[in-house]
């Protein structure tokens, strides 16, 4: 495994993916380069064995799949998410302060650590919806320069700040944009100029802040990496690389990346929506298979829900369960939760361990301390649309939901190897709990 090459490509993907729209566009570019054929949900599908395809929804979720043969066994899938906790720019964003400054009105998207957003260069990226002669169209914009900052209050004006501070999103988190000048609507004009349109033609926007600090390697031997959006673009990237590198097996390989995991997934492009189910059913019909064939194929399918996991924190070792203690660079984390916030059970955990063994990569386990509720992810949410054997995994990281997170330099490559095995393999159901694993 060439960890340096993997990280170089990962860093480029992270730096060019300030939010879900860009992550999906960059994944589509890589799928296109690999010869995958673009499909549209609003057009008919004619599919052929031996070919690979991809389809997007809302420009912020993507499913790619490769059909090995018409009588395939099932679907071998990995699902991750491409959104991250962030501040969204509100409509009518400009707020003038004492006729001197202009700041931007923002609101929270998801649950972030607030403090690390302060005192660092930020910028804005997202989509604008533009008027056309016969309707509307989407343009992605990224103001690719240091543009904004959310300044802290000096310690002299808040002496108790280091004893704990409650951040108020409306009062504390609005970024400074510019000095107040003669012009009005400077922000919208900047966005319009970046999009190559006039401000009057912009009908609406979905724009988000992002941290300008690029991804880096660090540590004595460069054993760590740090970047924004490692949760969950690290898994999305590994899933895509494994998908592109896998050799076809007996099952349809399916790489899915959903939006809106950080706000509960209940959108058309989220894991609670119908995107995956619609896509699998269309594959089934396009390959001339019956409804019974579909249900039989789901019984011989496997889903890996891949979303980053909490590693043991060097300053807070007591926050981790006493016997399930993931560390950076020690491999893929299989996540367990008795109340099924994580989907892993003995069957799916065993299959995932077999995949890791076949791939020659290490795995480790995570459960929350029994006195801590922990987070949740998209695996159990997607079960209401497509119910099948599912395992929840992730890559170990620190500072989850910070705009600058830390992870291991080796773990991305481990997940690529495991994804390759997953996407090349098949799981033939022989009744509940008994499966033939074909690697
Ligand atoms: Zn996540």
Residues 168-193 have pLDDT tens digits of 999 999 999 999 998 888 999 999 99
- Please give the average per-residue pLDDT across 391-408, as a whole number: 98
pLDDT higher than threshold 90 for residue 279:
yes
Q: How far is the CA of 386 from the centre of ligand 1 (A)?
A: 20
User: Could you tell me which of 365, 363, 305, 372 has the C-alpha nearest to residue 335?
Assistant: 365
Q: How far is the CA of 377 from the centre of ligand 1 (A)?
A: 6
pLDDT higher than threshold 90 for residue 375:
no
Q: How far is the CA of 408 from the centre of ligand 1 (A)?
A: 16
Q: What is the pLDDT of residue 431?
A: 87
Q: What tens digit of pLDDT does each residue of 286-311 get? A: 999 999 999 999 999 999 999 999 99
Least confident of 20-34, 37-51, 371-385, 412-426: 371-385
Q: How far is the CA of 265 from the centre of ligand 1 (A)?
A: 11
Q: How far is the CA of 57 from the centre of ligand 1 (A)?
A: 19
Q: How far is the CA of 306 from the centre of ligand 1 (A)?
A: 8
Q: How far is the CA of 146 from the centre of ligand 1 (A)?
A: 26
Q: How far is the CA of 80 from the centre of ligand 1 (A)?
A: 8
Q: Residue 124: which H helix or E strand, with range?
A: strand 122-132
Q: How far is the CA of 135 from the centre of ligand 1 (A)?
A: 35
Q: What tens digit of pLDDT does each residue of 4-51 get? A: 999 999 999 999 999 999 999 999 999 999 999 999 999 999 999 999
Measured between alpha carbons, how far is 349 from 302 in angstroms, rounded to an integer? Answer: 11
Q: How far is the CA of 83 from the centre of ligand 1 (A)?
A: 8
Q: How far is the CA of 378 from the centre of ligand 1 (A)?
A: 8
Q: What tens digit of pLDDT does each residue of 237-266 get? A: 999 999 999 999 999 999 999 999 999 999
Half-sphere exposure (CA, 13 Å, Cβ side) for 374? 23
Q: How far is the CA of 210 from the centre of ligand 1 (A)?
A: 17
Q: What is the pLDDT of residue 65?
A: 98
Q: What is the pLDDT of residue 362?
A: 98
Q: How far is the CA of 278 from the centre of ligand 1 (A)?
A: 23
Q: How far is the CA of 262 from the centre of ligand 1 (A)?
A: 7
Q: Token pair of 358, please?
A: 């076949």
Q: How far is the CA of 232 from the centre of ligand 1 (A)?
A: 5
Residue 358 CA, chain-centre distance (Å), reads 26
Q: How far is the CA of 334 from the centre of ligand 1 (A)?
A: 14
Q: How confident is the model at residue 376 (pLDDT cuts 50, 70, 90)?
A: confident
Phi, psi of 381 (to 5 degrees): -70, -40
Phi, psi of 11 (to 5 degrees): -60, -40
Q: What tens digit of pLDDT does each residue of 45-95 get? A: 999 999 999 999 999 999 999 999 989 999 999 999 999 999 999 999 999
Q: How far is the CA of 309 from the centre of ligand 1 (A)?
A: 8
Phi, psi of 281 (to 5 degrees): -70, -35
Q: What is the pLDDT of residue 374?
A: 82
């Amino acid at each position: 495994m060439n960890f340096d090459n993997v990280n170089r490509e990962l860093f480029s993907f992270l730096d060019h993916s300030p939010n879900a729209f860009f992550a999906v566009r960059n994944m589509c570019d890589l799928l296109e380069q690999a010869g995958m054929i673009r499909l549209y949900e609003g057009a008919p599908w004619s599919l052929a064995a031996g070919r690979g395809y991809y389809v997007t929804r809302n420009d912020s979720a993507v499913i790619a799949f490769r059909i090995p043969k018409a009588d395939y066994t099932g679907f071998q899938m990995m699902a991750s998410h491409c959104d991250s906790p962030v501040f969204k720019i509100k409509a009518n964003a400009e707020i003038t302060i004492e006729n001197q400054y202009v700041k931007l009105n923002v609101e929270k998207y998801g649950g972030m650590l607030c403090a690390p957003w302060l005192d660092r260069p930020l910028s804005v990226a997202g989509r604008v919806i533009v008027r056309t002669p016969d309707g509307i169209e989407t343009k992605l914009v990224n103001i690719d320069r240091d543009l904004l900052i959310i300044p802290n209050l000096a310690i002299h004006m808040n002496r108790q700040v280091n004893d704990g501070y409650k951040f108020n999103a409306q009062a504390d988190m609005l970024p400074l944009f510019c000095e107040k000048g003669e012009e009005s609507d400077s922000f919208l004009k900047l966005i319009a100029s970046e999009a190559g349109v006039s401000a009057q033609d912009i009908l609406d926007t979905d724009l988000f802040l992002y941290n300008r600090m690029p991804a880096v390697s660090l540590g004595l031997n460069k054993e760590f990496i740090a970047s924004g959006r490692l949760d969950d673009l690290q898994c999305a990237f590994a899933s895509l690389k494994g998908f592109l590198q896998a050799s076809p097996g007996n099952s349809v390989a399916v790489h899915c990346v959903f939006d809106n995991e950080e706000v509960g997934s209940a959108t058309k492009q989220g894991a609670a929506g119908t995107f995956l189910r619609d896509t699998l059913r269309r594959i089934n019909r396009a390959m001339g298979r019956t409804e019974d064939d579909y249900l039989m194929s789901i019984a011989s399918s496997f889903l890996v829900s891949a979303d980053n996991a909490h590693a043991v924190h060097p300053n807070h070792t007591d926050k981790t369960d006493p016997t399930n203690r993931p560390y950076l660079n020690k491999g893929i984390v299989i996540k367990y939760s008795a109340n099924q916030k994580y989907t892993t059970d003995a069957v799916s955990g065993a299959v995932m361990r077999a995949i890791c063994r076949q791939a020659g990569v290490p795995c480790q386990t995570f459960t929350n301390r029994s006195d801590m509720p922990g987070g949740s992810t998209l695996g159990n949410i997607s079960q209401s649309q497509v119910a099948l054997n599912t395992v929840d995994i992730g890559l170990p990281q620190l500072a989850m939901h910070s705009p600058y997170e830390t992870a291991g330099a080796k773990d991305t490559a481990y997940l690529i190897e495991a994804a390759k095995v997953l996407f090349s393999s098949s799981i033939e159901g022989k009744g509940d709990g008994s499966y033939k694993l074909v690697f």
